[in-house]
Amino acid sequence: MIITIGGPPGSGTTTISKLIAKRYGLKHVCAGFLFRDMAKKMDMDLSEFSKYAEEHPEIDKEIDAMQVEIAKEGNVVLEGRLTAWILKKHNIEPTISIWLKAPPMVRCKRISERENRDKEKTLWDMIEREKSEKKRYKEIYNIDLEDLSIYDLVIDTSPWDVEGVFNIICTAIENLKKDKR
């Protein structure tokens, strides 16, 4: 089973990805964690490293290559904004591709509470990061993150708690498993 889960910061991708991986006994790999580790190694915060990555496309390509190799092994939840697109470009068909979304202020509140940060600073950083990613992904891959047509399931996570979103996704996965029998 290969499950991709993408979405903007604060939409719930990491929380849900970990729960799905645990529920189905899958490995969890997060492109954002790989990116953060690279930033840390270069002694940069996420905003600085995002700007750096704009000038160094090899950063994103390295992360993407790692995800492709992991996907080939199977039994994984791959979390990342580009993951479904990258797998498609490499002719790897996920079992299900999911996009989580939420309004910017909802996401900002979640991030600022999670990281114990000022909301205004969090909003600014979130907007800058998203602009940088949008620019990089368009320039490097010609991918428009607003095009959700490749996703099997798109969920606005703002109306539900974690359990509600988790249940929606588990129901979709269980229905897919039934259909394949």
Helix ranges (DSSP H) in the chain:
13-24, 31-41, 46-55, 58-73, 83-89, 104-115, 119-141, 162-179
pLDDT for 43-78, tens place per residue? Answer: 998 878 988 988 898 998 899 899 999 999 999 999
Does the reported pTM lie above 0.75? yes
Tell me which H or E stretch contains 142: none
- Residue 104: pLDDT band (50, 70, 90) is very high
Has 8 been labeled as part of a binding site?
Answer: yes
- Residue 12: pLDDT band (50, 70, 90) is very high
Has 14 been labeled as part of a binding site?
Answer: yes
**Euclidean distance between CA atoms 176 and 174, whole angstroms:** 5
**Euclidean distance between CA atoms 35 and 180, whole angstroms:** 35
At 107 the pLDDT is 95
Tell me how far CA of residue 104 lies from CA of 15, 78, 129, in angstroms: 18, 23, 13
Has 10 been labeled as part of a binding site?
Answer: yes
Has 159 been labeled as part of a binding site?
Answer: no
36 pLDDT exceeds 60? yes
pLDDT for 163-172, tens place per residue? Answer: 999 999 999 9
CB atoms within 10 A of CB 147: 9
- Residue 181: pLDDT band (50, 70, 90) is low
Residues in Cβ contact with 134 at an 8 Å cutoff, skipping those fewer than 6 apart: 145
Has 95 been labeled as part of a binding site?
Answer: no
Torsion of CA 127, 128, 132, 133, to 10 degrees: -40
Query: What are residue 97's DSSP bridge partners?
Result: 4
Q: Report whether 155 contacts 165 (CB < 8 A).
A: yes
Has 7 been labeled as part of a binding site?
Answer: yes
Domain annotation for the chain: domains and CATH numbers: 2-174 (3.40.50.300)
